[in-house]
Structure 1
């Protein structure tokens, strides 16, 4: 399995600019012949508290990304806002090589005004069982219980983590590794870049929380399992 983790710039409420960036980074990643391309949380709409207008683009985003996945016979993971009845979820999708959505995760760890997920699901692929969680879910105790129950082979984490206060990237990475160790599953994390001063980057941890690979800023991290 070759995964390309793609830190991506996202502008709030500028879908066409974000789509242009998405296509450009997608093409850049394809140069590495990946099996899976992984994009951050909110990567095609951005998000500004509490503007949920990007949720109306859900169907269009799914259609466009599914077409790219099918055309290039790759898996794609991305985060996006999902409307459902009177709710909006912070969701992430796994789209297969045929352009089909085979896994959806709705984020647990969200403040009020979002609807929140209540389960972790897995999808079977030629690489094993894959699971997705989103950003703050990594620090959620209920997530750990679901992961232990579902026993995925790999976890993917789209993130939009911005530094605040006395931020220290080295300590942040150490903290992420500690949470991965609690889950006990090899984990791939990719953060947004240059949105809300997000620091970008991508990381791969083994099931013991040891850092195996990382990239900084907007550099794509390609990892071969």
Structure 2
């Protein structure tokens, strides 16, 4: 099982630039023959309070990313804004090797102007059960209970985290580690750039690998 985590540069409100960057980084990842290519939270539109216009591109984005996944024969995880009736979800999808949507997660931990999710689901792959949560969900106690109940084999966490002091520091990574331990499952985290960064933790919260800035992190796990 080989996972490519891509801390992609994201420009809020600039779909064309983001799509070019997405395709470029996706192509770079394919050189490593990955099974999963993982991008950050709402990586193709970005988000600025309270501009939900990126949600209008939901169908187009799903179609385009599905086409890439199908052509390359890989799984793709990424975040996007999802319109629903009179509001918007902050969502993330797992697209299968054939381009189908295997899994959708709607973020719990969001301000009132978003619709919010209320469950964690899993999807089966040849490597085991996968789950997704998004950014602040990592620090939500209800989410941790759902994850333990669903017992995935691994979980992906797209993020858009920009601390006021610059790049995530040791305390931020320690906090991620503690939450990964609480989830009790292999955890793959990728943040948008800037400030970027990607991390892999085991189910005991041990940091297995990390990258800084916009550097791609490729993790290979051998399973019996």
The question of a shared fold, defined as TM-score above 0.5 by the shorter chain, is answered with yes
For residues 139-197 of structure 1, give each alpha carbon's deviation from its aligned partner in whole angstroms, at most 9, with x where no partner exists.
00000110111000000000000112597611100010001111101100000002xxx
Please give the secondary structure, in 1, of the residue aligned with 2:94.
strand
The 5 A counterparts of 1:20-31 are 20-31=20-31
- Equivalent of 1:201 in 197, 203, 207: 197
Aligned equivalents of 1:14, 1:166: Cα separation in 2: 23
Q: CA deviation at 1:87?
A: 1.6
From the superposition, tell whether residues 85 and 6 of structure 1 become closer, same or farther in structure 2 (CA, over 3 Å): same
- Equivalent of 1:221 in 200, 217, 220: 217
For residues 200-225 of structure 1, give each alpha carbon's deviation from its aligned partner in whole angstroms, at most 9, with x where no partner exists.
01000000000000001000000001
TM-score scaled by length of structure 1: 0.96
Aligned equivalents of 2:206, 2:101: Cα separation in 1: 31
1:152 is matched with: 152
1:97 is matched with: 97
Q: CA deviation at 1:13?
A: 1.1
1:108 is matched with: 108
Give the CA RMSD over aligned residues: 1.0
Q: How many residues align?
A: 221
The 5 A counterparts of 1:68-217 are 68-164=68-164, 169-194=169-194, 199-217=195-213
From the superposition, tell whether residues 149 and 67 of structure 1 become closer, same or farther in structure 2 (CA, over 3 Å): same
For residues 64-119 of structure 1, give each alpha carbon's deviation from its aligned partner in whole angstroms, at most 9, with x where no partner exists.
00000000000000000000111200000000000000100000000110010000
Matched, 1:64 2:60: no
Please give the secondary structure, in 1, of the residue aligned with 2:66.
helix
1:33 is matched with: 33
When structure 1 is superposed on structure 2, of 164-173 and 108-117 the one drifting more is 164-173
Unmatched runs of 5 consecutive residues or more in structure 1: none
Unmatched runs of 5 consecutive residues or more in structure 2: none
Aligned equivalents of 1:97, 1:181: Cα separation in 2: 30
Please give the secondary structure, in 2, of the residue aligned with 1:110.
coil
Please give the secondary structure, in 2, of the residue aligned with 1:13.
coil
Q: CA deviation at 1:41?
A: 0.2
Aligned equivalents of 1:203, 1:165: Cα separation in 2: 19
TM-score scaled by length of structure 2: 0.97
